[in-house]
């Protein structure tokens, strides 16, 4: 059969020298960006699955943590003053420290989202055009007040005390809810969360959807990363920007299809191992003293925050 081996394979390889091409590679922004995003997602997943480190919150039963999350988010939305919100924030911060999480990593995200969804969205309401009240920081003066339809634009435009309060409240609420959620997410592996939700009577169909989404996103980011690696192993020269764009565009559909097939395989594997549309888990381990103690402590702190 050896005679079937094409002669080019047995010929000595094309000699190559470093001087064949000059200059530095420019890596196309699009491809690099997508790969960076995928690896950030994968890194996130890895962190999440590793969340069984031995901090304080990691040891607590997932059911306690989920109830804690719901209860505290309720409290955060009910509070009407900045000071109690600040106390809650300090409380969550201390819990985060006790759980030995990386403060920088968590707060980078919390502050970014807090800024986008709290501060920026609420900012316009700080002006007396929207919220009436005492102007504390005048910004512009119009020759006379304007009235059109239901709007009234006063002659002096500025930021009001009530407005500042509103913006601060919304930002604090967003920041608090996010720190709470990240605290739970980073201390509880994904499957524990699903289990806890199941115990708390969340419908199975909903849990299946979350689980498959979780798997899908993971497979998607892994496929993107794999494809990047595979392409890199065969990239010999710099692609022109057009080639790079075409490559990315052509591959997006391909990636989705490939990932969907993989996800279907995962689902088939689940069915093959006796999965039906009800989710069954082996029983939760018993609540220990630590779990009960923490539950009571968190509950009492919640009541305390409700009344200050």
Residue ranges binding other proteins (CB under 8 A): 1-2, 4-6, 8-14, 16-25, 27, 43, 46-47, 50, 226-227, 229-238, 250-251, 254, 257-258, 261
Closest to other proteins by CB, 17 or 276: 17
Strands (E), 56-165: 135-141, 146-148, 151-153, 156-160
Give the sign of the dihedral formed by CA 18, CA 24, CA 30, CA 31: positive
Put residue 282 in one of left, alpha, beta given phi > 0 → left and psi -120 to 50 → alpha: beta
Shortest reach from residue 125's CB to other proteins, in Å: 43
The residues, ordered by sequence, that sit 6+ positions from 132 with a Cβ below 8 Å of its Cβ are 160, 162
Q: Is-contact 46 105, C-beta < 8 A?
A: no
| DSSP run (H or E) holding 79 | none
CB of 263 to other proteins, least distance (A): 12
Q: What is the nearest approach in angstroms of other proteins to the Cβ of residue 267? A: 16
- Residue 1 or 140 with smaller CB distance to other proteins: 1
Give CA–CA dist 171/125, Å, rounded.
12
State the minimum distance, in angstroms, from the CB of residue 46 to other proteins: 4
**Least Cβ distance, residue 70 to other proteins (angstroms):** 31
CA distance linking residue 158 with residue 140, whole number of Å:
7
Closer CB to other proteins, residue 184 or residue 224? 224
The least distance separating other proteins from the CB of residue 227, rounded to whole angstroms, comes to: 5
Give the integer Cα–Cα distance in Å for 297 and 95: 12
Q: Please, which residue, 159 or 244, has the CB nearer to other proteins?
A: 244
The CB-of-179 to other proteins minimum distance in angstroms stands at: 24
Which residue reads 């999965």 in tokens? 275
The Cα–Cα gap between 172 and 79 comes to 10
Nearer of residues 11 and 289 to other proteins, judged by Cβ: 11
Residue 5 Cβ vs other proteins, minimum distance, rounded to whole Å: 5
CA dist., res. 88 & res. 242, Å (int): 52
* 79 close to 85: Cβ distance less than 8 angstroms: yes
Q: What is the DSSP letter of 21?
A: S
Which of residues 215 and 231 has its CB atom nearest to other proteins in the complex? Answer: 231
- Closer to other proteins by CB, 81 or 246: give it: 246
Structure tokens at 191: 């499957």
Q: Of 162 and 238, which has the nearer Cβ to other proteins?
A: 238
| Distance separating alpha carbons of residues 182 and 124, to the nearest angstrom | 28
């Amino acid at each position: 059969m050896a005679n079937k081996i094409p002669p080019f394979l047995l010929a000595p390889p094309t000699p190559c020298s470093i001087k064949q091409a000059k200059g530095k590679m420019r890596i196309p922004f699009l491809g690099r960006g997508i790969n960076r995003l995928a690896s950030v997602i994968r890194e996130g997943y890895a962190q999440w699955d590793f969340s069984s480190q031995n901090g304080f919150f990691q040891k607590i039963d997932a059911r306690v943590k989920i109830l804690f999350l719901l209860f505290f988010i309720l409290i955060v939305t009910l509070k009407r003053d900045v000071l109690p919100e600040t106390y809650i924030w300090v409380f969550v911060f201390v819990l985060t420290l006790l759980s030995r999480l990386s403060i920088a990593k968590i707060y980078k995200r919390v502050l970014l989202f807090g800024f986008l969804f709290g501060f920026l969205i609420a900012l316009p309401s700080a002006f007396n055009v929207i919220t009436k009240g005492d102007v504390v920081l005048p910004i512009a003066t119009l020759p006379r007040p304007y009235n059109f339809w239901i709007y009234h634009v006063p002659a002096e435009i500025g930021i009001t005390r009530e407005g500042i309060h509103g913006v601060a409240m919304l930002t604090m609420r967003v920041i608090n809810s996010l720190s709470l959620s990240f605290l739970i997410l980073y201390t509880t592996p994904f499957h524990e969360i699903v289990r806890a939700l199941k115990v708390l009577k969340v419908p199975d169909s909903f849990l299946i959807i979350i689980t498959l989404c979780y798997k899908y996103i993971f497979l998607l980011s892994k496929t993107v990363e794999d494809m990047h690696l595979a392409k890199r192993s065969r990239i010999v020269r710099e692609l022109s920007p057009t080639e790079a764009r075409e490559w990315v565009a052509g591959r997006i559909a391909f990636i989705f299809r490939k990932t969907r097939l993989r996800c279907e395989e995962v689902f088939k594997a689940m069915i093959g191992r006796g999965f039906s549309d009800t989710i069954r888990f082996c029983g939760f381990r018993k609540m220990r003293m630590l779990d009960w103690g923490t539950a009571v402590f968190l509950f009492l702190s919640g009541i305390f925050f409700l009344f200050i």
